[in-house]
Chain A
Amino acid sequence: AQSVTQLGSHVSVSEGALVLLRCNYSSSVPPYLFWYVQYPNQGLQLLLKYTSAATLVKGINGFEAEFKKSETSFHLTKPSAHMSDAAEYFCAVTSSGGYQKVTFGTGTKLQVIP
């Protein structure tokens, strides 16, 4: 079984401030982890992925995430928030089984305050 928990359904930051979105996972096998972003009335866009290589993963738009096995975490960060970062962010985990079912968290809405 696999699951992800996103702490905080809403996060507000000031423009230029650090963005930290939290994700903890549960998986019975080594996980593959993802962060997706969803803008209003749009589909999901892949921000970054962890696939058992480097534990610090860099993605698009200046985002990065660090895989910490001891903490079962995969938190998303960005040093300086931009107004265009306002969106909903989903953490997701996949299985290493025969089919790649993706299990998503409940999402975190990021508000950026000017």
Chain B
Amino acid sequence: ETGVTQSPTHLIKTRGQQVTLRCSSQSGHNTVSWYQQALGQGPQFIFQYYREEENGRGNFPPRFSGLQFPNYSSELNVNALELDDSALYLCASSPDRGREQYFGPGTRLTVT
């Protein structure tokens, strides 16, 4: 059974640029949630996708957007990057919007 995978591992972008982060959910999981973890903080919920539809959103601006594909993999897109977007971005998957979520290793984004 393959766990949650994320790519890339690390990324460096310049302020104002756009970035796409990718996540492959665990086999059999149709729900993907994205979290932002700033240095020294707990993860903050960005949004959740269930069967290709957004199923809930945290307090993040519209420049944070996402997609979920028919194979339940997902993308997180961030436009007009700001310095404060520098963080570890975590993806978690679960079956049928289940409460127990399985996390990937994260993508470390640095905005300069």
Contacts and interface: CB of A to CB of B under 8 A. Distances in A.
Report, as a range, how many residues of chain A touch the other chain. Answer: 20 to 34
Contacts of B41: 106-107
Interface of A: 32, 34, 36, 41-46, 49, 51, 90, 92, 94, 98-107
Contacts of A45: 103
A44 B48 contact: no
Contacts of B56: 98-99, 101
Report, as a range, how many residues of chain B touch the other chain. Answer: 20 to 34
Given A101-B56, A102-B92, 17 more contacts: A42-B105, A43-B4, A43-B104, A44-B43, A44-B90, A45-B103, A49-B99, A98-B97, A99-B56, A100-B97, A101-B45, A102-B43, A103-B45, A106-B41, A107-B40, A107-B41, A107-B42
